[in-house]
Amino acid sequence: MRSEKPRQIAARVLRLHAEGAGYLEDLLDHAQAAALSPPDRALAQELCFGVVRWQATLDWLIAQKTAGRPQKTPLQILLRLGLYQLFWLDRIPDHAAVNETVELAKEFGCGNQSGFINAVLRGCLREREATEQRLADLRTRHPALGHSHPDWLCDRWRNLWGDENLRRLMEWNNTPPPTYARLNTLRGTAEQLTAQWREEGVEFEPRQFDWTADGLVFELKSHPSLATLPSFQQGWFYIQDPSTLLAVRELDPQPGQAVLDLCAAPGGKTTYIAQLMNNQGTLMAQDTQIARRELIRENCARLGVTCAQLARPTTSLYAELSTPYDRILVDAPCTNTGVMRRRVDLRWRLRPEEIARMATAQVELLRDAATQLKPGGVLVYSTCSLEPEENQTVVQTLLAGQPALRLERERQLTPFADSVDGAYVARLTRTA
């Protein structure tokens, strides 16, 4: 049956993910290579992302119903999948969620456990009101478990921002993100783009932030597959969260300047820099991840960027970058804790020691970048991390050994204060 297909895909992807076969998004993309209809694709994604987001809470609920007995991985996944549909998705009828989860058991080698799955799911349904109350109580009594986040990370965030902002941040991370589009002025105007969208059946709403120009950012409310839209294929817009635009605005690249985008893949900031330069000047895009460099090339070609060139891949970041630059952007690799709602399985992959390891690498990256900056030039450091050790502390460590650099300003964007993904941006200048 057609309605079963998304659940079959979701169950298979979730099992592969639990076995460590790859990142969730990549596994889902691969599983959907055989074309699904847009509604089926959306349901499969919702099931995969939702189960992984709420994994800790789902496992707590399963433990409540099974006297804490550990279940084998395939069975645990099916129980998570069934309970997620019953208690987190309103649009799926209860009987369909139960029956189709039981049917999936046969495909997953758990046919002899079909009765057990049926009993657990129907038992929760019979006690729906009491179960929902227990889940609500859990969010108050044990917020990390109730909102399905690691304890260690919640303890950090509570110490930084307090209980209320912690709650708001966890709720943000558990909410599917909207889709934002940035206008590409190298192709046309906002009026031209929105007229094209109306013809293509795209529903949109203009959005503005204190660091974005009027008519630059749009939230896409409803749309056909983006890859099929002529406006996308012709490079009229780029999908990009507004938080990522702050770093380029602080960089303030001008036409005719020499600009280096040091960690450039996949090219969102690169193409926005070129847009502000009006394709005039020299823009060097560098990234050590050779597999992702092709994304920079593809995005530049689609968006009509002609002033950018790719630095040749090398084991040394700067072997090919001997020219001093007016502007340098270092959008550094980080723990990504500010974009956790987009990196669905990140909360379960991240370990506390990663923060210190990343910070060390970030300082070295900035020290190398500073050697490429002209006197009077601007160096912008940015991350999508919420952790001070990767942000303010990194900048202070850099400044302690670089007397020629001066911090002009810095800003931390947080979901609970700014209603965008988390990001940190620091603007530094070289005095001599």
* Chain segment 86-140, per-residue pLDDT in tens: 999 988 889 889 999 999 998 888 888 889 999 999 999 999 999 999 999 999 9
For 117, counting Cβ atoms within 10 Å of its Cβ (0-12 exposed, 13-18 middle, 19+ buried), the class is buried
Give the β-pairing of 373-383 and 237-239.
unpaired
**Helix, strand or coil, per DSSP, at residue 258:** strand
**Quick one: DSSP state of residue 86?**
H
More confident residue, 113 or 55: 55
In this predicted structure, the answer to whether residue 373 has a pLDDT above a threshold of 90 is yes
Q: Cα separation of 143 and 160, whole Å?
A: 16
Buried b (16+ CB within 10 A) or exposed e, 267-292: bbbbbbbbbbbeeebbbbbbbbeeee
At residue 31 the predicted structure's pLDDT band, cuts being 50, 70 and 90, is: confident
Segment 277-291 shows an average pLDDT of: 92
Q: Which H or E run contains 361?
A: helix 353-370
**Are 166 and 144 in contact, with CB atoms under 8 Å apart?**
no
φ/ψ of residue 91, rounded to 5: -85, -5
* Sign of the dihedral through C-alpha 79, 80, 85, 86: positive
Neighbours of 418 (CB within 10 A): 18
Question: Which residue type does 11 have?
Answer: A
pLDDT of res. 90? 87
In this predicted structure, the answer to whether residue 406 has a pLDDT above a threshold of 80 is yes
Lowest-pLDDT range, 221-230, 373-382, 409-418? 221-230
Q: Is 300 a catalytic residue?
A: no
Q: Cα separation of 94 and 45, whole Å?
A: 19
pLDDT of res. 32? 66
Tokens of 383: 């991350």
Segment 226-235 shows an average pLDDT of: 95
In this predicted structure, the answer to whether residue 193 has a pLDDT above a threshold of 80 is yes
**Helix, strand or coil, per DSSP, at residue 410:** strand
pLDDT of res. 321? 52
Q: Cα separation of 366 and 415, whole Å?
A: 26
pLDDT of res. 315? 41
285-330 pLDDT, tens digit each: 998 888 788 999 999 999 999 999 998 755 444 445 566 999 999 9
Q: Cα separation of 351 and 348, whole Å?
A: 8
In this predicted structure, the answer to whether residue 392 has a pLDDT above a threshold of 90 is yes
pLDDT of res. 41? 84
Give the residue carrying structure tokens 């029956």: 99
pTM of the predicted protein model: 0.92
Q: Cα separation of 317 and 57, whole Å?
A: 43
Segment 267-290 shows an average pLDDT of: 95
Q: Give Rg (Cα) of the chain.
A: 24
Q: Cα separation of 415 and 321, whole Å?
A: 36
Neighbours of 133 (CB within 10 A): 11
More confident residue, 40 or 277: 277
pLDDT of res. 3? 41
pLDDT of res. 35? 63
Work out the percent of the chain whose per-residue pLDDT is above 90: 80
**Are 344 and 268 in contact, with CB atoms under 8 Å apart?**
no
Q: Which H or E run contains 180?
A: strand 179-183
62-88 pLDDT, tens digit each: 999 898 888 889 999 999 999 999 999
pLDDT of res. 120? 93
323-356 pLDDT, tens digit each: 699 999 999 999 999 999 999 999 999 999 999 9
Write the CB contacts of 312 (distance below 8 Å, at least 6 apart in sequence). 320
| Sheet (strand 203-207) strand order | 203-207, 217-222, 179-183, 237-239
pLDDT of res. 319? 46
Q: Cα separation of 77 and 256, whole Å?
A: 56
**Are 146 and 163 in contact, with CB atoms under 8 Å apart?**
no
In sequence order, what DSSP letters do the residues of 184-206 get, joined into one string? -TTT--HHHHHHHHHHHT-EEEE
